[in-house]
Structure 1
């Protein structure tokens, strides 16, 4: 067993470069924009929808996905609707993508929202990108909070 461990670590020991370890998901935030902000920054929004942004973060990167949900009772309670995403916390991004893709019980809207934000996070991690905007939408946290009528951090 010791020989197997030594063999696996040999490239790291020889080069002095640590093995690539994928960062776990540390936090998630979901913002529901107020009507005027949604109309200003999300061109496909309308009065019959709740629009917002889902953000998933690791240590050095974040991924984003916009959403537009019908203004129905099912989507009214943001915390209840988004609580299923808390299962992703602590997972490495690639594992979280595989997990989210299998969650048909979440419904297609939540599953696609999670996969979209996770794919964006994965791309931003590998390219070392720190975004300032998503389309016309500024991503500064204080700005997002000012534009939101509801917010959930988990």
Structure 2
């Protein structure tokens, strides 16, 4: 286990190495970065008492990874925990993967473009990898905490409270 500090250091290092070498090394470092991010997501599940090898939790990990990037607008995926349970059929898993793939391609395309120039690529690669890890870790912590609360207090109540907590406060007086 890399821990809270080891994971960001590793993804920063791989991002810098990948960015310094241009597109070819950026592509080569992606599997390491993705592995570290997925491990962080799985650790968030474990921290909330879930078994990361449970098929439903694996699907939830994929959903979290499919949430996009910190560079995209929130599409409400962080409240989808109350959705119907996915049956673990091949078709259901294929559907999840199909929904994750386009978002992942967009996020990775943005990352690769930023890493195209060696010196700037090294800095951008380190910063982007760290930002992505932080983002996915935080989303995973929130999602699995909400899932745990939903099991205890019911999904409708948790969703209602969550929506109230994140409702924007008007900046003007009526």
TM-score w.r.t. the length of structure 2 is 0.28
TM-score w.r.t. the length of structure 1 is 0.30
More helix per residue: 1 or 2?
A: 2
**Larger RCO (CA under 8 A, 6+ residues apart):** 2
More strand per residue: 1 or 2?
A: 1
